[in-house]
Copies of this chain bind each other. A is one copy, B any other.
Amino acid sequence: MTRRAPADVATLVTRARTGDPRAVARLISLVEDASPLLREVSAGLVDHAGHAQVVGVTGAPGVGKSTSTSALVSGLRRADKRVGVLAVDPSSPFSGGALLGDRVRMQEHALDPGVYIRSMATRGHLGGLAWSSPQAIRVLDAAGCDVVLVETVGVGQSEVDVAGLADTTLVLLAPGMGDGIQVAKAGILEVGDIYVINKADRDGAAHVARDLRAMLALAKDEDGAWQHPIIKTVAVKGEGVEDLVAALDEHREWMEASGELQKRRLRRARDEIEAIAVTALRDRFGSLSGHADLDSLAAQIVEGGTDPYRAADTLLDTL
């Protein structure tokens, strides 16, 4: 396979902006593979992103995340919005790849030209989300998506990261997934802008809503603060989805009016610059050699010759 010439990136961006799904897919692949063209893709997207509302979808396994995402796509399409879906899959060495069984639920949207669906593997690299996902989101944004849904497959560290990528974060809960304390323990409550109680036709939905309201009441409300809505859905039947679409619009409007959108985007941009700079520095650490390289310093720590703070000083001095 021949490496594509740099000029292709500009062409791909132009084609992606006219809605060519293959160009969109190719740009995301360049980003995901950390291709040498990644920098060029990033530069090419500068003038074409910033329109989409980025919506993180998070929740424990079993709450119906992928069914809810699929139902939400249908709801957004009925509201005439173009939708991108980025499903982030922490790969597992045991499965030999991403666990994509649930993804079949998305297939009803596969032929809709107003929907881009993309699975992205983080390839076992836990920090992978930090630098590849923002760029993939920008690709979907530049391609004209009004809403980009970012969903994790599975649980773990990526959940909170996803919230960090989003303008609006949906936290999904469901009855029967553990008591209130366990919900709070999961650490995902504090990242939510909109709470969705899925499977709301089951016993215990009212109980979950009550626990949730009690926990939200503990958070201090400032004047003009966003009032976190609690939306009940039965995603598998499409029930409550219109309410959810409306809540997304309301949150977007509040974000713009309050200045929170700008604030969050600035914070995200800061995080992204930092992540890229830190990755570059780690690469430099890794390429050092001699007595001040990471392996020698680590060996000195294990043998008791130095401590990590002195070792870090040595490393930074060498840089």
Contact = CB atoms under 8 A, between A and B. Distances in A.
B181 A302 contact: no
Contact of A160 (B156, B185, B190, B315): B156
B276 A297 contact: no
Interface string A199-215: 00000000000000001
A90 B302 CA distance: 28
Interface string A42-63: 1101110110000000000110
A256 interface: no
Contact of A276 (B49, B186, B266, B308): B308
A157 interface: yes
Contact of A181 (B101, B126, B186): B101
Contact of A185 (B153, B302, B316): B153
A258 interface: no
Interface in A120-169: 126, 134-135, 153-157, 159-161
Contact of A187 (B134, B154, B277, B297): B154
A69 to B, nearest CB: 15
Interface of A is mostly: helix
A268 to B, nearest CB: 8
A298 interface: yes
A273 B294 contact: yes
A295 interface: yes
Contact of A266 (B218, B299, B307, B311): B299
A266 B309 contact: no
A278 B278 contact: yes
Contacts of A47: 304
Interface in A289-317: 294-295, 297-299, 301-302, 304-312, 315-316
Interface stretch (A3-11, A74-82, A92-100, A244-252): A92-100
A280 interface: yes
A295 B268 CA distance: 11
B294 A272 contact: no
A72 interface: no
Interface in A171-210: 178, 181-182, 184-190
5 contacts: A95-B184, A126-B157, A134-B308, A266-B298, A281-B316
Interface of A: 38-39, 42-43, 45-47, 49-50, 61-62, 90, 92-96, 99, 101, 126, 134-135, 153-157, 159-161, 178, 181-182, 184-190, 215-216, 218-219, 262, 265-267, 269-270, 272-274, 276-278, 280-282, 285, 294-295, 297-299, 301-302, 304-312, 315-316
9 closest cross-chain pairs (CB), A and B = A157-B157, A269-B298, A154-B185, A276-B312, A269-B301, A156-B187, A277-B312, A42-B307, A270-B298
